[in-house]
Structure 1
Amino acid sequence: MDDRSTPGTAPDVWPPRLAGLFREVSPTQWAIDGVVGIVFAAVSLLSMRAIGSSSLLVLIPTVILMIAALMLSRLSPPLALAAAWFGALWQMGTQQQPMPANVAIFVVLFATAAYGSRLVYWAGFASAFLGAAVIAGYLVVIPQIWRGFATSLTESATTAALTFIAALFALLLSWTAGALFRSILRGREVRRAQRDAEERASAEEERGRIARDMHDVVAHSLAVVIAQADGARYAAAADPDAATAALATISQTSRAALADVRLLLTQLRHRQSAGPQPTLADLEQLYAQVRAAGVDLRVDMDPAPVGAAPAAVQLAVYRILQEALTNALRHGDGGPVDVGLAWHPERVDLHVGNRIGVEGRPSEPGGHGVIGMRERAQLAGGRLDAGAEGDAWVVRAEIPIRAVAA
C-alpha cells in the first residue's frame, strides 16, 4: 500500500489542499453512482414510515448522512467514512433503531479498502473493529444496563460477544472485499506498466536497429563514393572512359543509398512497417560495389549454406560484411581484401582481412563500426573480434544457426 491514490485516479485536478481527499471519477461512474444514490435515497426515505419510534426530524439527519456517505464513497473515501461515523453517532445519540440506510456503512468500508490512501485503508480496517464494538454496546450492553440486567451477567456477556462477532464479520467482509478489489486494480496497473515498459524497450530496440542500419548503409555507400571519386579524379585525364564508369558507379551507389535511407526513415516514422531486410542474395551486389571501387576482393565460401538460414543470421552476416568491407575501403592500403564464409550446420564463421598502412591503423578496435559489428553478432547470439594480426586487420565472427522449422 502507498499514500497515493489508486490506479487510474488523478487527484491533481483538485486544489492542492483537497487533492488528498478527492479522486477523479469518470462520467460513467458519476452516472452509476447517481442512479444508485437516487434509488438508495428513495428506499431510505420510504423506510422511515416503518420506523415509528422516532420523529422525522430525528430520522432525516441520519438518512441524509448515510446517503452522503454512499454518494461520496467512490469520490472521497475519507469524507465518506467521516459521514458514516457522524450518521452512526447521531443515530445512537438519538436512540434510533437500525434502519435500511445503514447499508451505506458496508459500501463505505468497501470504498476505504478499495480506493483510499494507506491512512484511509487502515482507518477503514480499524473502523470495522470499533464499529462492531459500538454495535454490541449499543444493541446489547446499554439496554441491559437500563433494564438493570434483567438476564444473568453470563448470558448478557455471551449475547454481547456474539453480537460483536457477527457485526465484525459483516463489517470485515465488506472491507476485505474492497481490499481484494484494490489488489485487482494494482495488478492491472502493474500489467499496464509492464506493457508500457515492453513497448518502450521494443521502441528503443527498433530505433537502435534502425540506427545501426543507417550507419551501415551510409558509411558503406560513402566509402564507395569516395573511392570512386578519387579514382575518377586521377583517371580523368588519362582514361576518360574510366572516369565515366566511376561516375556511373557513384550515381548508382548514391541512388541505392538514398533508397535505403528513405526506407529506414519510413520505418522510423511507422514502426509497424518492418520493410525488407538484406539477405544472402544481396551479398553479390555488395561484392560488386566493393569491386567497382577498385578493390581486389577475394571471396571464399566453404562450405556453402545448405537450405535457408534464419533471417536474423542472414541480416547479421550481411551487415557485418558490409561494415568490415567499408572499413577495408577506408583504411586499406589498396591491396586485396579476403572474405571467408564457412556455413556449418550449427554456426557460420566469418572473417574479413586486409592490409593497412601504419598511418591508417586504428589504435584499438573501438570505433563505432567495430562496436556496431560486435552488437550485430551479439544480437544474433554470436561473438565478434577485430584486431591487428601482423600487418593486417582482421575481423572474425561466429554466429550460431538455430534450427529452422521445416
Structure 2
Amino acid sequence: MTEYRWLLPAVLHGDPGEGQPGVRRSTRDWAVDMFVFLGAAGTGLLMALALRSDTSTPQPILLADQVVGALACAAVWLRRRWPVGLALALLPVSLLSSVATGPVCVALFTVAVHRPLKFAALTGGLHLLTLAPYLCWRPDPELPFWVEFTVAALLYVLLVIWGMFVRARRQLVLTLRERAERAEVEAELRVERARHLERERIAREMHDVLAHRLSLLSVHAGALEYRPDMEPHDVARTAGVIRAGAHQALQDLREVIGVLRIAPEGTTPDRPQPTLADLTGLVEESRLAGMEVTLDMRVSDPAEAPARLGRNAYRITQEGLTNARKHAADAPVGVTVAGGPGDGLTVEIRNPVTVGQAIPGSGSGLIGLTERAELMGGRLDYGRGPDGRFRLRAWLPWAA
C-alpha cells in the first residue's frame, strides 16, 4: 500500500497550478467558476421547487435534502483544487439529495476535463452505481424505473464524453503551442548557427587574404631592418612597396567584409574571386617579394576549371606560400598543380626546412586549409617528407 501513497495527491488534486496555493486564478477562471456555480445552484433550486409537490417523502428528509444540496453547491468552488476528491465526496450525497444533482454533474465534468480517462471512468461508474438505490428509494411516480435510470445514465455518460472532448482539445492547443515555441527556438538557433558560420567564413577569408599581404610586408620591412646600408633609392622603393602592400591589404579587408556580409553561402560573390588561372600572378607576386618560387602547371587549360575549385586551389597555394615565407624565407619553393576533370586537382607545395628567424604564426592557417579541402569533399595533408623537405599536398575533386 505504501508504494501507492504518492498517487493520492495526484488523484485527489487537480492539474498542477489549478487552484493551488500561490497560483492566482485568471479573470476567465473566475468567470467560468461563477458560471458553473450559478448553473449548479440554479439546477438545485429547480429540484428544490419540484420537491414541494412530493407528498410521499417526510418533511425532515426534504429539508435535509435541500440543506445537503446547498452545501454541495457551495463545494463546487473546490472543483479546481480537488476534482476527484469532490466527485468521491458527493457519492453519499447523491444517495440522499436530489438537489445535489447539479453539483454531481459539475464534479463529473471537471474530473473528465482535468484527469485522465481512468479516473473519469471510475468516478462516473461509482455515481452510476448510486442511481439504482436512489431511484428505488425515491422513485418518480410518472416514469418507469428503467426509463428514469436510462436518462440519468445517459446524462452522466454525455457529461464524461463532453469533458474528455474539452480535455483533448486543450491538450491539442497546448501541443500546438509547444510546437510553435519549439519551432521559434529552432529558427533562432538556425539563425544563430548561420551567423556563426558566416563569422567563420569571414575569418577564414580574412586570414587567407591578409596573412599573405602581411607576410609580404614583413619580408620587405625585414630587408630595411637588416640592410641599414641600402642605397637611398632602394630604401624609397622598398618603402613604396610596403605602403602599396598596406593599402592593398586594407582594400582587400574592406572587400572581403563587404562581400561576405551581403553574399549568402553558396552564391557567387560580387567581388571577383581568384581562379586557377590567377596562380601565375600569385607566384609572380611572391617572386617580386624576393622568394625563389617555381610553378609547374600541369593543367592544360586552367581557365576551364570550375570557379569554386579554382578559388580553393588559389587559397591553398596562397597559404602555402605564406607559410613558406614565414618559416623558410630564403629557401626555394616549388609549386605543382596537376589534374583534370574526373581525376581531381592536386596542389603540392614543397620547400626545405630552414633554421632562422621566422615570422610568428598560430597554425590556424593549416587547420583552415584542411577544413576548406574537406568542405569540397577533398583532403589535405602536410608535414616533413622523407627527403627532409616540408610538403603540403591537397587533392580537390573535379567533376568530369
| TM-score where L is the length of structure 1 | 0.65
Letter of the aligned partner of 2:346 in structure 1?
D
1:196 aligns with 2:188: yes
* Alignment match of 1:350 (pick from 341, 347, 365): 347
SS in 1 for 2:218: helix
Checking the alignment, whether the CA contact within 8 Å between 1:125 and 1:175 is kept in structure 2 is no
SS in 1 for 2:369: helix
Q: Give the structure 1 partner of residue 205 of structure 2.
A: 213
Q: Give the drift of 1:374.
A: 1.0
Q: Give the structure 1 partner of residue 328 of structure 2.
A: 332
Q: Give the structure 2 partner of residue 228 of structure 1.
A: 220
- The 1:158–1:65 alpha-carbon spacing in structure 2 relative to 1, beyond 3 Å, is closer
- The 1:49–1:171 alpha-carbon spacing in structure 2 relative to 1, beyond 3 Å, is closer
User: Which of structures 1 and 2 has the bigger CA Rg?
Assistant: 2
Give the Cα separation in 2 of the matches to 1:169 and 1:343. 74
Q: Give the structure 2 partner of residue 374 of structure 1.
A: 370
1:96 aligns with 2:94: no
Output the aligned Cα RMSD.
5.0
Q: Give the structure 1 partner of residue 293 of structure 2.
A: 297
Give the Cα separation in 2 of the matches to 1:257 and 1:241. 24
Q: Give the drift of 1:387.
A: 1.4
Q: Give the drift of 1:325.
A: 0.9
* Alignment match of 1:143 (pick from 107, 128, 134): 134
Aligned ranges for residues 143-162 of structure 1 at < 5 Å? 143-147=134-138
* Alignment match of 1:261 (pick from 253, 258, 262): 253
Overall identity of the aligned pairs, in %: 25
- The 1:167–1:341 alpha-carbon spacing in structure 2 relative to 1, beyond 3 Å, is same
Give the Cα separation in 1 of the matches to 2:75 and 2:316. 74
Give the Cα separation in 2 of the matches to 1:333 and 1:375. 26
Letter of the aligned partner of 2:295 in structure 1?
V
Aligned length: 352
Give the Cα separation in 1 of the matches to 2:219 and 2:389. 20
- The 1:345–1:43 alpha-carbon spacing in structure 2 relative to 1, beyond 3 Å, is farther
SS in 2 for 1:53: helix
Checking the alignment, whether the CA contact within 8 Å between 2:73 and 2:103 is kept in structure 1 is no
Q: Give the structure 1 partner of residue 47 of structure 2.
A: 53
Checking the alignment, whether the CA contact within 8 Å between 2:383 and 2:390 is kept in structure 1 is yes
Letter of the aligned partner of 1:279 in structure 2?
P
- The 1:40–1:147 alpha-carbon spacing in structure 2 relative to 1, beyond 3 Å, is closer
Checking the alignment, whether the CA contact within 8 Å between 1:337 and 1:352 is kept in structure 2 is yes
**Contiguous gaps of at least 5 residues in structure 2:** 1-15, 50-65
Q: Give the drift of 1:377.
A: 0.9
Q: Deviations over 1:355-393 (max 9, x none)?
A: 2315689xxxx9322222111111222110111221421
- The 1:137–1:253 alpha-carbon spacing in structure 2 relative to 1, beyond 3 Å, is farther
Give the Cα separation in 2 of the matches to 1:267 and 1:304. 28
Give the Cα separation in 2 of the matches to 1:368 and 1:61. 79
| TM-score where L is the length of structure 2 | 0.66
SS in 2 for 1:334: coil
1:399 aligns with 2:396: yes
Give the Cα separation in 2 of the matches to 1:341 and 1:239. 39
**Contiguous gaps of at least 5 residues in structure 1:** 1-10, 70-78, 113-122
- The 1:39–1:152 alpha-carbon spacing in structure 2 relative to 1, beyond 3 Å, is closer
Give the Cα separation in 2 of the matches to 1:307 and 1:61. 92
1:245 aligns with 2:245: no
Aligned ranges for residues 76-155 of structure 1 at < 5 Å? 80=80, 82=82, 95-96=98-99, 110=113, 112=114, 123-137=115-129, 140-147=131-138
Q: Deviations over 1:9-33 (max 9, x none)?
A: xx9xxxx974xx469x8xxxx7xx4
Q: Give the drift of 1:94.
A: 5.7
Checking the alignment, whether the CA contact within 8 Å between 1:136 and 1:163 is kept in structure 2 is no
